[in-house]
Amino acid sequence: MRRKLKPPLPQRHGLDPARLRMPAEGSWATLRDHLVERLPKVDPARIDTMLRESRIVDMDGPVAPNAPFVPNSSVWFHRDLPDEVAVPFEIGVVHRDDDLLVVDKPHFLATIPRGKHIVETALVRLRRELDLPDLVPAHRLDRVTAGLIMFVVNPARRGAYQTLFRDRLVHKEYEAVARYDPDLDLPRTVRSRIVKEKGVITAREPEGPPNSETLVELVEHRDGLGRYRLLPRTGRTHQLRLHMAGLGVPILGDDFYPVLTETALDDYRKPLQLLAKVLAFTDPLTGAPRRFESPSTLLAWRSHEAWLAGPPATRPGSATG
Q: Which residues contact 252 (CB under 8 A, 6 or more apart)?
A: 177, 178, 179, 225, 270, 272, 273, 300, 307
pTM listed for this prediction: 0.86
Greater pLDDT, 17 or 314: 17
Task: Report the candidate in 228, 227, 226, 253 with the shortest Cα–Cα distance to residue 308.
Answer: 253
Question: How many whole angstroms separate alpha carbon 67 and alpha carbon 53?
Answer: 14
pLDDT at res. 85? 83
Question: Quick one: pLDDT at residue 307?
Answer: 95
Q: How far is CA 182 from the centre of its chain?
A: 35
Q: How many angstroms from the chain centroid is the CA of residue 308?
A: 25
Q: Report whether 251 contacts 301 (CB < 8 A).
A: no
Residues annotated as catalytic are: 142
Cα–Cα distances in Å, from 55 out to 80, 88, 315? 11, 31, 32
Q: What is the mean pLDDT of residues 106-110?
A: 96
Higher pLDDT, 320 or 234: 234
Look at residue 4 in the predicted model and tell me its pLDDT. 63
Strand 212-222 to 225-232 pairing: antiparallel
pLDDT tens per residue, range 17-29: 999 999 999 899 9
Residue 212 amino acid letter: S
For residues 157-182, b (16+ Cβ closer than 10 Å) or e, as one string? bbeebbebbeeeebebbbbbbbebee
pLDDT surpasses 80 at 317: no
